[in-house]
Each structure stands twice: as C-alpha cells, then as structure tokens.
Structure 1
Amino acid sequence: MKDVVWDPRETRRESQSTINRHGSGIVSTTATAPISRGVVEQQLDRILASSQFAGTTRLNRFLRYLVEQSLAGNAAELKGYAIGVDVFDRPEDFDPAIDTIVRVQAGKLRMRLDLYYAQEGVDDPLRIVIPKGSYSPHFEVAFDPEAADEAAPGEADTARYSIAVLPFDNLSGDPAQEFIADGFTEEILNALARFRELKVISRHSTFRYKDRPADPRDIGNDLGVRYIVEGSVRRWEDQVRVTAQLIDAETGAHLSSEVFDRTLSAQGLFEIEEEVAARIAAEIAEPHGVIHRLGTRRRAGTEALDAYECRLLASEYWRKPTEETHARVRDLLERAVAIDPDYAGAWAMLSIVYGDELRGGYNLRPDPLNRALAAAQRAVELDPLDVAGHHALFLMHYHLGEFGRFRAAADTALRLNPNYPDMLADLAVCTAFTRDWGEGLRIMKRAMRLSPNPPGWYYWLPAWRLYLDDRHEEALTQVHLGGKSAWGFEILFEAMVLGQLGRVKEARPLVEAIEADPDRFKHLVSHNFRLWHAPDELKTKIREGWRKAGVVTEL
C-alpha cells in the first residue's frame, strides 16, 4: 500500500526459540534440524495447486523461484534486482528503487500465503513463510501441542456471509485482452477475502461460469452463496473502464453498481487493478458497506438477535455516536460475546466501545482502558487473522502510550487488510500526532477514497492540519463536512476556528453550549488530549482559538 510506510524493526526468528501461533490453534516453529528437500518441494506443490495460487501465474512463478533458489543454497542472493530480472523479466538496467514491482508482488505473495494457511493449508505439516523485509523463505514445522498425534482442529468458521466473484467479462473486442478481465477478477476476490466475516468462494468454483450467462439465483443456489459480484472490463487505447455489481443471490436484485474509468498512462495496470479492487471490496464488505447496511436495516426492529446481528447493529454506531446509542451498542456487544464467547469480531468492536467511555465521555464504568485492552487481546487470540482485532489492539496500545506495541499491531493490521477504512482512519490520526503529519494525511486520504460516504470524524484530521497552517476558512469547511459526527467535538472545533477568524458573534451559541456543560467538555478535552497524545503545538493553538471565541472556562 503506497500511502503507508511503516519501518518496524523486524525481530529475527531464532531457530531454537521462535514459535508462531496460527488462528487454527496450530503452532509453528522454525526447524532446528534440516528439512529434507523432498518435504519442502511437496509443500510447494501443494501450495501452488491451491485455489489461492493456481490461477496466479506471476505469484506462482515468484514463490517457486524463491523456494528453489533457497533450496539450492542461494538464499543470500535473493535481492530485488535479481528477482526483477529472473522472475518479472525486467531488463538489465532495472532499478528496484524506481520500479517497485518486486516489492508490490512480495506483499501480495505474503498475503496469499497467509490466506492459504488460514484456509486450505490450515492442517499442513510445513509452512513456507516469506518474512517481511526479506525475500529468503523460512520453513516452519507445524504441530498441535495439545494433541500432537491427532489431526489438528480446523479454524473456527468466522464467516457470516458467503460471496462469489464471477469471472469479469472482457468487453474490449480483443481476445488478447482477456488477461486484464481475469486480473481484475483475481484482485477483487483477493481483496474481499481479507474481510473475515465473508466466506469467499474460490476462483476454481466460479470459473466454470466464464462466458456462460446464467441467472444469479441459479448460481447462488449452485454455489451456496448469498451474494454475487459480477462485472466487466473494457480497454481501448490507454483507457480502462471497470464496472462491478453486487447482486443478492436470493432475489436476483442488484444492490449496488459502480463504474471506474482509469488512464493507463497515469497508472500501471497492476496499480489500477489493486486500487479498483480495494475500492470495490471496501464498498461491499467494510463495516459501513452495502452488506452491513442491508443487514442492519433488516434487523433494526427486532430484539431476537444472535451474536452476529448484535455486532451488525453496533457497526452503525460509529457513523453518529451519541450517549444513548453507545449504551445500546455496549449492551448489544456484551450480549453478543455472552451468546458466542468465541466471536472475535464482537470482542474487537466491544474493545472500541469500551474505549469510547473515555474518548466520548459516555456511560463511564470503572477501568475502561484495561477492559478495552483485554477485549482486544481476546479478539486477537481468537482470530489472529482478523484485522478488526488488531485495529482495536493497536488503538489501545497507542492510548496507553505503548508505542512499540502499537506499531507492531498496526503493521499486522495493515498486512492483513489495507482496505479497512475505519482502521486506516484511526491509524492516520495516530501516525500524524506521533510520527509524521504528511504520512498521516496520506493514510486518511486513502481511508476516504475507500469509503465514499465516510463517517464525519474522518474530516477532523485534515481540519486540524489546516488549522495549524492558519488556513482557517478551509479548516471550517472540513469541520462542516464532518457535521455532528461524534461526542460534541464539532462544537469545540467550530468554536476554535471561528475564534481565530474573529467571528465571535457567530461563535456565541457554541460558546454558550460549552459554558452550559463545562464538566462534560473538560472531560472531552482532557481525556482526548491525553489518549491521542495531541502535539503541544496543536493543543496550544486550540486553546488560543477557544479564548478568542470567548470561552471563559479553562478546558
């Protein structure tokens, strides 16, 4: 993902002591004795024949090259230049610092391996791992410490909805362009698979529908899925148009439709595929996406809710939180984890709701941060591959000032799903305040691109930056875009900007609202300045704006 650049210090695996736990309950440890070449080659063949790799020529070739070179004793020579020339057919003057194909494809390769071992390869005896920051593969033996002589249990079924991505149609009029349509199909499938509450049908199961029109209801019944994604790709000259529709397989109704026009001269084809796939996946599967919005509407009037339905209704809370909705959502999520104690997604959201007791000043109970941290840790323990748990975990480590742990959890969240807008938006604020404003704003821009109708609080970070730069009219526009999005902060934000603009009369109703409930606003300011580690420069200028607006209470 180009917008985010973490430089975490990788801890090297020590062969005697390194143990990695996977979501299945399986543990893997780097082998302390040589593994026979035949065992590694068998595992490689198993991976390359899987649904994650069988249709991916580039990644198939890439993984085979890395493993074979390592087995041949050439692991030290696995550098970006050699890989670009040998695997991706780059010319001899190839510069990996300029042409990032090796780095981009390595990220995709790591993600595909994660997905393979979370699904088809969950019980495989050997794991092939490409550590971040290196192209040299590690070979890890997997075993179940609780029952080493029994078959390892499979990963718990975390999916709540099933979806199939049908092969996209090539409308270019040239059969030679078929690979472009296949590439978009593959990338969209890949991006959707990162959302853990979706069960995504493999490419092999859907490919038989290529060039065979059929009623979506028949396809849904045949594949056993609730939703279908279908679409088309058309290329002419240097233009590409991608259309995508989400279809309800039970009724055949079209639930959403999007069209993307891109220029190949401005972006490479791989970049366009990745960008469009990320946008489609987020629009469909993110917490504010089509599937969740539809589910919320269907269930909003009932109290007979299962664990997932409780979590589904909770996802709407962040669009416009209030003290009343916070209390209801907290009750719903506590009910969800009581109904299903192994539901990682509900534990993750409960962690963030517990944190809102301090962030928003809502329904405060004792020790909210430790409750929130425990819930986040429980979510990650239950499902280490679910981004929602790592999102909650990095947020709590950040609030507690544990920045090393924050960066490790954030790096994991990004690797698992760089297309999760709410996670990106929170990460943007953390990054801007403690690392780099420019990087934080780039992350927020990506979050907004992935969420065309984002919650209002997404606009706060750009508003703060504009405010610091004395671009007060532009900052006010951002505040208005945010609307009444959370916690009453919009009153504080608008008052400080109007104060800097000298529009004291206009700010008067806001000042009166602040002075009418000083304890609440003091809570908001003191706790959030501390929790978000707001820069001193920003805190000073915010208070200056309030004074200019006429706020007497020291916030």
Structure 2
Amino acid sequence: MKTGEDADRAAYCPVAERPARAELDRMLSDPRFHGTERHRKLLRYLVEEFFAGRSASVKAYTIAIDVFARPSSFDPATDPIVRVEASRLRAALAQYYEALGDEATLRIELPKGNYVPLFVRSDGKPPQVLLAPPPISSNVPEPPEQLSSTAVVGRRLSVAKVALAGVGVLAVAFAFYASMVDQFPWKPILSEKPTIIVDVEPQKLKDGEERRRVGGYLVHALSQFSSVRTLAQEPPEGIDVASVTGWVAPRSVVRLAGSKEYKLSISYNMANDAHELAWQVVDPQSNEALRSGALKRTLEDGGNAEEVQQALLVRLARALAGEDGVVTSLETARQLAAPSLGYGCVLQADMALSRTDAENFANALTCLERSLAYNANDPDVSASLAMVLVATGEAGTSPTRRNRALKLADRAVALAPQASQSYVAQMMARFAAGDREAAFLSGLRASALNPLDEAIPARMGLLRYISGHWSEGLRLARLAEENGEYAHHDAALTLALDAYRGRRYEEALLRVRQLANSSDRVVNLLRLAVAGQLGLTQEATNALGEVRSPEGPLEISLTAEPATRNYAPELAAAIEDGLGKASLQINGNP
C-alpha cells in the first residue's frame, strides 16, 4: 500500500523513472550543455532526491550541506550560494534546450519557488506537463525565491494555446493566458530602478532656506541619472520649493511596485570657509545604515560658496547613482542574490559590459530577451539589449543583429527621450553600423541630458579615439578620469591606446595591467602588442594565453576581432605590428 507521500509522487509523476534518468544522463554528457560541475552535481542531486521521494524536504540548507559542502552552521540569509547556483542552473538548462531545439523529446526544468525538477515533453506531441512540482511542505516555511533572469517564458504561452486548441479558438487561448498568468508559480519577479528619498537635516532651526537649496539641487543632480528615481520628503511648512528650484515635492511618497527604496540623509554644515557634507544611505524598512561618508571642500579649492556647495553635491550624486555608485552597487548585489527580470537584467547587462566575458554576456542577453518578452515598452531594457548586442560584436558581424540593435536603441529613445542611457545605446548602435557622425550626435545629446555621468564621455571618448579623432577622444577620456570617483574602463583604455600610439610603451603596459581582466579580449590584445614592442616574452606568453581560445588559431590578428574592426588604419597597423613582434618572440624567433 502506498504512503501519502508515495501517492503524491504517483499523481505528479506519470512519466517513468527510467526515461527521466536517461534524459538526465544524456544531457550531462552532451558537450552542448554548458553547466559547470557545480550545476551538474546540483541537478543530479535534485533528480535523485525526487525519485527517492524526498523533494518536499529539499531546502536551501540541505542543498548547501549535501551538494556544496557547507558547514552545519550554514545560513542561507547570509550566504546566497544555493539561490545563485540554482539560478545559474536554470539559465544553463534554458540555453541548452533552446540550442537543442526539436531534438529534445523530454526536457528537464527547474521552476522557481522550490527545488523540484519538472519534466516536459517536447517531441512534437501536444506540450503535456509530465511532472509538476508537488506542493511545498508547510512545516518548513521558506521565503519564495525571485525568478531567474533566464526562466523560460515562451513555454507557458504555448501550453495555454495548445490546451485550448481543441476548441479552435486562438483568441480564447490568449485571453486565458492573460487571465491566468498571475497564477502560475513561475511568474517572473519584475524589478524597477531603485528609488532614492532625499532628506536634508537642518543644522539649526533657521537653516530652512539652506536645507531647501541643498535638497533641491541634490534632487536635480540625481534626477539626471537614468539609474535611479529620486523623491524628496515633504518640505517644512512655509517653504515654497517650486518658487526657487522649479521642482515640486510630492505630498506623499509614491511607491513603485518592484522598486527598492533607499533613504538618503544629508547633513550640510558651513563653518567659516569650509563646507562639510555628511551623508548616509539607510534602508527605510529595517532602518539599517547601508553606507555612509563625508565630503569636505573649502573656498581655497576654488569657487565661491555656491559653487563649492554645488561641486560637493555633484560629487555625491555621482558617488550614489553613477555606474559604480553606492546605490547601483547595492542593487547589483541584490540582483546576484535574488535574480529578477526588468531592471535586474539591466544591472546584469551593466556587469557584463564592465567585465566583458562571454558567460556574463550570454546571461545578460537571455535575461534581457525574457524581460522584453514580458514588457516590450521598457526603454531601459531596450537600451541595454542594444548595447550588449554591440559589445559582443554581434551587431558588427551580423546585419540582422545590427539592424535589431539600431531598432532597439531608437525605440529606447522614443520611449524615454529624456534618458541619457537611451542616447548612449543609440550612439553605440550607430557607431557599429558605420554611421559615425550620427553616433557622435547621439553621444552629445546624452552628455547634454546628463553632464554629471562620467561614463558618457568615457564611452564617447573611446569611440572618437579609435576612429581617428585623437585629440577629441583623449580630451573626453581625461574629462571622465578627472570627474569620476573611479577610473572608467573605456577612459582607461583610451589612455592606454594613446600611450601605445605615442610609443610610450612602459606607460601603456602599466595602464593595461591596471585594466587586467582575463575575459577582456581588447585589453589583452593591446597587452600582447605592448609586450611585443618591449620584447617581454613572458608577458607576451601570458597575454596570448588570455586571448587564445583552446580551439583557436595559433596566430592572433586584429582584423579577426569584431570589437576592433572600427579602429582607424593607423592605430590598427600599430597594434598589428606589436602583435607580430610578440608572435616572433613567443615562437623563439626574435
């Protein structure tokens, strides 16, 4: 006689155990499955536990202990390894079955909300769910996880369509899907850009005027960044903010679903000729102080009192909402721990653009495509997807991808004409398409919309430099370097390229070493060329190891790199010369 648990398994498992295990073994041995060893171990564990009837007891804690060898003191609240690896496994599964196409007759999926595998037939027969996840045991409560950026979207719609195809009413299928989508357990979590609530604390009761000016200017500075929403708390009674700043504070904070809120507390003090600004980013829900800092400037540093004040507030806005800003970094960490679609994918794309490695780009592409499938009118997602298509080189080698990148960027501009990021995406897409003058016009528009974001002159400066506008590109790179809290990748690369072109090879080597990233092919190509010019055989060998893929050609040529095809002939020839010398040194023919 079957126990209650066995009965549940029988009800949820009409597929035989043997073909399910056979599919697992086949997939894990298939070179097209790009999961890591951790992912393979995790998936096999989950399938084994399912067929052993123990899925209801599989939690983040048990996985951490049994699969990832964490100690018994493991706390999932402080160590997100299980959530992160499960999300990456879902991404690997989705990518694998997309690549497999019609070859798969049985798919293994891992829906969100639990760790129970799901088997779905895909052999040309009606998409019938063969193995649905059993209900989560109420004895061991566990907060629901957010959806991986790569959860399979199209399957839900196809299941709903086919289920109603028997009655021959396709419109009804769409209506059914629309009405039921919120009920599916694997509905995605959609995130929005974070909200910063500005609160300036007066030092004295009579400081209301100063508080108004500081708060108004800071809101104005933060609102220029596309990465955040900015709100201010209600002004004190009797203060008319609109008459001074033109900005009207809401009477009550408008909360946006899916948007994390951060309270920014500011204390501004002026003593003699010194201006001091203390700030603190607080989680309003827990009242936890997340980050804090202080800035100081005197009139001796240049400018009158108002100019000094504005310079401090601009520095703070950049430090909070810039590409490597505090709030941006906090949101990126949240996305890594609990992936989501929407703005979460934009952050994932930003990570990929800064690290330039294939795995991050693949994950970001999948995440952005899923987000676009749910909301085709998200300008941030459209802009990010266009930039990723350009950065991977796909827009430069495929006319279809190039046109798509242009359309996505143009759509982002149409949807958000006041967002600088939309124009940055348009600049990159136009440049990849060969329309350089139009690209730089888009870059100028982005700079005009947000003159505070050092990432804009950094990106535009690199494009100007590699296309042969040496002085202008160098000026923009230095501007970005001067204004930024951190050295932006594109500005640093421009300065490294200029040192190489000027035959200042020692300086170029120092700069490329500072940009060291094993997955950044452009940087490592330049490093290889510099090593060739300096006669550094070991440096050249190390750089070649980073550039060459295991199955790649022995000879490395700049012309074969999609990311460097827009280089001006003079620059390309100089780098090619260094690559040739490096090749001779490595092969023992100096």
TM-score, normalised relative to structure 1: 0.60
CA distance in 2, matches of 1:441, 1:244: 34
Report Cα offsets for 1:64-109 as digits up to 9, x if no partner: xxxxxxxxxxxxxxxxxxxxxxxxxxxxxxxxxxxxxxxxxxxxxx
Letter in 1 for 2:413: V
Quote the offset at 1:472 in angstroms. Answer: 1.7
Quote the offset at 1:264 in angstroms. Answer: 1.7
- Say if 2:411 is the partner of 1:374: no
Report Cα offsets for 1:98-130 as digits up to 9, x if no partner: xxxxxxxxxxxxxxxxxxxxxxxxxxxxxxxxx
CA distance in 1, matches of 2:329, 2:388: 19
Q: Residue 415 of structure 1: which of 448, 461, 476 is its match?
A: 448
SS of 1:265's equivalent in the other structure is: helix
Q: Residue 473 of structure 2: which of 440, 443, 446 is its match?
A: 440
Q: Residue 390 of structure 2: which of 355, 358, 366 is its match?
A: 355
CA distance in 1, matches of 2:282, 2:483: 20
- Kept in 2: contact 1:310–1:333 (CA 8 A): yes
Cα separation, partners in 2 of 1:450 and 1:456, compared to 1, 3 Å: same
What RMSD, in angstroms, separates the aligned Cα atoms of the two structures? Answer: 3.5
Cα separation, partners in 2 of 1:208 and 1:498, compared to 1, 3 Å: farther
Letter in 2 for 1:528: A
Letter in 2 for 1:288: D
Quote the offset at 1:384 in angstroms. Answer: 0.8
Quote the offset at 1:552 in angstroms. Answer: 8.8
Q: Residue 318 of structure 1: which of 333, 350, 353 is its match?
A: 353
Quote the offset at 1:541 in angstroms. Answer: 1.9
Cα separation, partners in 2 of 1:196 and 1:529, compared to 1, 3 Å: closer
Q: Which residue of 2 aligns with 1:14?
A: none
Q: Which residue of 1 aligns with 2:100?
A: none
Report matched runs for 1:24-43 at 5 Å.
none
Q: Which residue of 1 aligns with 2:543?
A: 510
- Kept in 1: contact 2:558–2:576 (CA 8 A): no
SS of 2:392's equivalent in the other structure is: helix
- Kept in 1: contact 2:555–2:583 (CA 8 A): no
CA distance in 2, matches of 1:348, 1:209: 42
Report Cα offsets for 1:503-536 as digits up to 9, x if no partner: 23432333466566338954775433333xx333
Quote the offset at 1:178 in angstroms. Answer: 7.3
Cα separation, partners in 2 of 1:529 and 1:314, compared to 1, 3 Å: closer
Quote the offset at 1:406 in angstroms. Answer: 1.9
- Say if 2:495 is the partner of 1:462: yes
SS of 1:258's equivalent in the other structure is: strand
Letter in 2 for 1:546: L
- Kept in 2: contact 1:311–1:333 (CA 8 A): yes
Cα separation, partners in 2 of 1:271 and 1:541, compared to 1, 3 Å: farther
Report matched runs for 1:137-536 at 5 Å.
160-170=193-203, 182-202=212-232, 205-207=234-236, 223=253, 226-269=261-304, 270-302=306-338, 305-358=340-393, 367-434=400-467, 436-448=469-481, 451-454=484-487, 456-484=489-517, 486-511=519-544, 517-518=552-553, 521-522=556-557, 526-531=561-566, 534-536=567-569
SS of 1:318's equivalent in the other structure is: helix
Q: Which residue of 1 aligns with 2:243?
A: none
Letter in 2 for 1:350: L
Letter in 2 for 1:300: L
Amino-acid identity (%): 23
- Say if 2:585 is the partner of 1:549: no
- Kept in 2: contact 1:360–1:524 (CA 8 A): no
Cα separation, partners in 2 of 1:366 and 1:302, compared to 1, 3 Å: farther
Letter in 1 for 2:415: L
**Structure 1: runs of 5+ lacking an equivalent:** 1-157, 211-219
SS of 2:575's equivalent in the other structure is: helix
Cα separation, partners in 2 of 1:419 and 1:345, compared to 1, 3 Å: same
- Kept in 2: contact 1:183–1:273 (CA 8 A): no
- Kept in 2: contact 1:320–1:455 (CA 8 A): no
Report Cα offsets for 1:2-32 as digits up to 9, x if no partner: xxxxxxxxxxxxxxxxxxxxxxxxxxxxxxx
Quote the offset at 1:341 in angstroms. Answer: 1.0
SS of 1:240's equivalent in the other structure is: strand
CA distance in 1, matches of 2:363, 2:558: 22
Quote the offset at 1:551 in angstroms. Answer: 5.1
CA distance in 2, matches of 1:539, 1:523: 7
Cα separation, partners in 2 of 1:209 and 1:478, compared to 1, 3 Å: farther
The range that moved more, 306-315 or 247-256, is 306-315
CA distance in 2, matches of 1:461, 1:428: 7
CA distance in 2, matches of 1:160, 1:198: 5
TM-score, normalised relative to structure 2: 0.57
Quote the offset at 1:546 in angstroms. Answer: 1.8
* Higher relative contact order, structure no. (Cα contacts within 8 Å, ≥ 6 residues apart): 1
Report Cα offsets for 1:267-293 as digits up to 9, x if no partner: 214443443333322322234333233
Corresponding residue pairs, total = 379
CA distance in 2, matches of 1:496, 1:206: 59
SS of 1:483's equivalent in the other structure is: coil
Report Cα offsets for 1:282-330 as digits up to 9, x if no partner: 3222343332332332332456x33233323332222312111111110
Quote the offset at 1:253 in angstroms. Answer: 1.8
Letter in 2 for 1:509: N
Letter in 2 for 1:320: R
CA distance in 1, matches of 2:559, 2:394: 7
Cα separation, partners in 2 of 1:462 and 1:169, compared to 1, 3 Å: farther
Letter in 1 for 2:401: P
* Structure with greater Cα Rg: 2
Quote the offset at 1:454 in angstroms. Answer: 4.8
